[in-house]
Amino acid sequence: MAMEAAEIERLIKEAFPDAQVEIVDLAGDGDHYAATVVSEAFRGLNRVQQQRAVYAALKGRMGGELHALALTTRAPD
């Protein structure tokens, strides 16, 4: 079962209310997305920690409902 971009954004914003989130469906199939997430919560975290935090926000849906997510994360400039 595919996952809607709006659901991905909702889960991320639930975990990071201040986040600026941009989601792109890479293949048009609802299974392969790219996401850019900018949040103050990432300040002081390395890239791996930032991405783990986003994956945790997706509550186990990676690999199931959501097949692939290319992530770009950062703290605001």
When pLDDT is averaged across residues 3-12 and rounded to a whole number, the result is 94
Q: Tell me the percentage of the chain whose pLDDT exceeds 90.
A: 74
Residues 6+ apart with CB under 8 A from 75: 38, 39, 40, 41, 42, 43, 44
Q: What integer pLDDT is reported at residue 1 of this predicted model? A: 62
What's the rounded Cα separation, in Å, for the pair 12 and 20?
10
Amino acid symbol at 1: M
The predicted model scores a pTM of: 0.89
Q: What integer pLDDT is reported at residue 14 of this predicted model? A: 97
77 pLDDT higher than 90: yes
Candidate from 9-13, 15-19, 23-27 with smallest mean pLDDT: 23-27
Residues 2/29, Cβ–Cβ less than 8 Å? yes
Quick one: CATH architecture of 5-74? Answer: 2-Layer Sandwich (3.30)
